[in-house]
Amino acid sequence: MGERRRRGGSKFLTPPGRVRSNLPLESGGRTLATRTKRKKRNIEKDDSPRQLVAKLRRLADCIEQGQRFRIQIAGERVSIPPDATIHIEHERSRDEEEIEFQLQWCLED
């Protein structure tokens, strides 16, 4: 871990794979202490109908209210901004069909 000094001389440790940032958060003017470097990832997760319905309801509420949607997928927290682009994709092959609801947004530095 890299050691750095905070204002006032106290020490803090920065874990490997993290970088320091002073970006303000949306709530209360606090600062974001660390921002994780994210690796490429492609996860498909199966949920029960009940779990999916609960997530879709929360997503729909956030979209309607223009709020950020937060979800944890396979152990990683994901925060989707209110201005994310929403795509609905329909695929058909000879023996199956698929519909995907996609949310896409740009990552901030």
* pLDDT tens figures, 52-106: 999 999 999 999 999 999 999 999 999 999 999 999 999 999 999 999 999 999 9
Residue 35 has pLDDT above 70, yes or no: no
- The string of pLDDT tens digits covering residues 70-80 is 999 999 999 99
pTM over 0.85: no
Q: How confident is the model at residue 36 (pLDDT cuts 50, 70, 90)?
A: low
- The answer to whether 1 and 15 are in contact (CB under 8 A) is yes
Q: Where are the domains of the chain?
A: 1-38, 46-109
